[in-house]
Amino acid sequence: MTDSEMLTEARAILLRARDELGEIRSRVPGLEAATRWRSRAADEFADALGEWTRSLRRIDDELDRWEAALAAAQARAAGSTGASG
């Protein structure tokens, strides 16, 4: 497998991870709505959900950085292949 093929595969894996993360994040509003009742357990759940949501946002940001890095590496690999071919 060439470097370019590995980069293409890595980007495909990253995009699948992004899709899964998006699916999880799309469910957060429903979970937040479910915590609107009043009890100590509900408050603790809401706090944990807030932390979880912030973690998902950080993961999403990290996926953005990886996607940019892989895209740049793939462009460099394509450029070096074109220059030497």
pLDDT in tens, 25-53: 898 888 888 777 778 888 888 888 889 99
pLDDT-derived band at 84, boundaries 50, 70, 90: low
The answer for 37, left when phi > 0, alpha when psi is -120 to 50, beta otherwise, is: beta
Q: What is the pTM of this model?
A: 0.68
Tell the residue number behind the tokens 């709505």, with chain if given. 33
pLDDT for position 6: 86
Residue 58: pLDDT over 90: yes
pLDDT in tens, 5-23: 888 898 899 999 999 999 9
Which ranges constitute the DSSP H helices of 1-85? Answer: 3-26, 28-34, 40-84
Residue pair 23/30 in contact (Cβ under 8 Å)? The answer is no
pLDDT for position 61: 92
Residue 54: pLDDT over 90: yes
CA-to-CA distance for 12 and 60, rounded, in angstroms? Answer: 16
CA-to-CA distance for 12 and 64, rounded, in angstroms? Answer: 13
